[in-house]
Amino acid sequence: MAASTGKSFVSRFGVHIAVLVFVVIWTIPTLGILVSSLRDKDQIIASGWWNSFASSSQTEAGRLPAASAQTQKDGKYVIEGNVFGDGAKRDISAFGVKAAAPTQYKAGTAADLGDGVTLQVNADGSFVLASPKAFEGDRGQRVYYASSAPPKFTTENYDAVLFSEGIGRSFMNSLTVTIPATIIPILIAAFAAYALAWMRFPGRALLIAVIIGLLVVPLQMSLIPLLKLYNGVGTFFGVPSKTYLGIWLAHTGFGLPFAIYLLRSYIAGLPREIMESARIDGASDFEIFVKIVLPLSFPVLASFAIFQFLWVWNDLLVAMVFLGTAPDQIVLTAKLNALLGSRGGNWEILTTSAFITIIVPLIVFFSLQRYFVRGLLAGSVKGG
């Protein structure tokens, strides 16, 4: 902007800082789930994701082996072993025997538990519990310890989520819903848009007004009557009322006003001379449409396709009303919503699932941003 030239260094520096702050605020949330989805699931709850490159420390509890494991050594009864058992080893910094003071003793020192009983837990997890009297009972000594683990990144979460949580299947379902629901409206809308832009017929102005009106009709207005209609059709023909065909048509219907609107304003802007010279050469409307209008409209068709793809892929409401929740129909958004209920605290599952649901839109968005922005501008600025 011309207005900013000649401003002092401080004010230009301020602009950079301000934009940087906005960018950071807008990216951090998404970064958070990406990083978390790649972390070990125990580490996710042990430290914030912004600390994921540092060793994470956590307090754990375990129980030492019961009296049956004791041996006699130098006149004392001794139980030896490793608190981690056969599991993964971590570094222990401190330990304790009371829940109230889980890190009372430093690792490697011997703790006096009273009655001459001593417990020593070393940094590597090995311990020695010694007593002058024989141990009794079949419950071992409770022990608490603070351990730290080096940062651990893994793709295990993706394996788990894709194959055992059903996200992989939902991914396929989402594709099944989205691709036909994106392609079908394009051709229907393109023909209608051409007629509304270049053919003269009574009622054209009214039709355009109706379509612009329908642009803003809330989806909510359609849900109940369509649900009833689908149930009625299902009962009448003895077929299920929740089918892929049903949702394809529903998305087609809901996407059409915007599609016709967007395509019409673009097609109406094509140069009149091309149409007229083709007409003089004897081309019919059908030929003009197929041979001239469609190829010239490619950019706007692409814009609409991206819009419709993102909208259908990201939709939750239509999918919840018109599709079932069985594994063979549940789409990603609905599955993610279900996981939020059933796996509320399992952040390794939630963050990973969320990232899988957003990865396709992000790829589409980044690779085709040009068309997306163009559609956005045409669809709203002129929409006035």
What's the rounded Cα separation, in Å, for the pair 271 and 290? 16
| Interface map 86-115 toward other proteins (x if CB under 8 A) | ------------------------------
Amino acid at 1: M
CB of 143 to other proteins, least distance (A): 19
What's the rounded Cα separation, in Å, for the pair 352 and 39? 10
Single out the residue of 249, 288, 252, 246 nearest to residue 267, CA to CA.
288
Residue numbers 354-373 binding other proteins by CB under 8 A: 354, 357-358, 361-362, 364-366, 369, 373
Return the range that interacts with other proteins (CB under 8 A); candidates 71-79, 81-89, 142-150, 181-189: 181-189
* Among residues 268, 276, 277, 298, the one that binds other proteins under rule CB under 8 A: 268
* List of residues 6+ apart from 295 with CB closer than 8 A: none
Long-range contacts of residues 115-118, Cβ cutoff 8 Å, at least 24 apart: none
Nearer to other proteins, 30 or 155 (CB): 30
Residue numbers 142-171 binding other proteins by CB under 8 A: 169
Q: Is 61 in the site for other proteins (CB under 8 A)?
A: no
Residue numbers 318-357 binding other proteins by CB under 8 A: 320-321, 328, 333, 336-337, 340, 347, 350-351, 353-354, 357
Q: Where are the alpha helices (DSSP H) in the chain?
A: 9-37, 41-46, 156-163, 167-198, 204-215, 220-237, 244-268, 272-280, 285-288, 294-296, 298-314, 317-322, 332-342, 347-367, 369-380
Residue numbers 183-212 binding other proteins by CB under 8 A: 183-184, 187-189, 191-192, 194-196, 199-201, 204-205, 207-212
Q: Is 274 in the site for other proteins (CB under 8 A)?
A: no
Nearer to other proteins, 119 or 263 (CB): 263
What's the rounded Cα separation, in Å, for the pair 303 and 375? 5
* Among residues 40, 49, 79, 121, the one that binds other proteins under rule CB under 8 A: 49
Nearer to other proteins, 303 or 351 (CB): 351
* Among residues 67, 128, 214, 294, the one that binds other proteins under rule CB under 8 A: 214
* Among residues 69, 111, 123, 223, the one that binds other proteins under rule CB under 8 A: 223
Residue numbers 280-319 binding other proteins by CB under 8 A: 284-286, 289, 310, 313-317
What's the rounded Cα separation, in Å, for the pair 264 and 298? 13
CB of 358 to other proteins, least distance (A): 4
Coil, strand, or helix at residue 159? helix
Q: Is 249 in the site for other proteins (CB under 8 A)?
A: yes
Nearer to other proteins, 238 or 245 (CB): 245
Q: Could you tell me if 193 and 267 are in contact, meaning their C-beta atoms sit under 8 angstroms apart? A: yes
CB of 337 to other proteins, least distance (A): 5
Two tokens, residue 238: 């003895």
Coil, strand, or helix at residue 25? helix
CB of 139 to other proteins, least distance (A): 26
Single out the residue of 306, 314, 276, 311 nearest to residue 378, CA to CA.
306
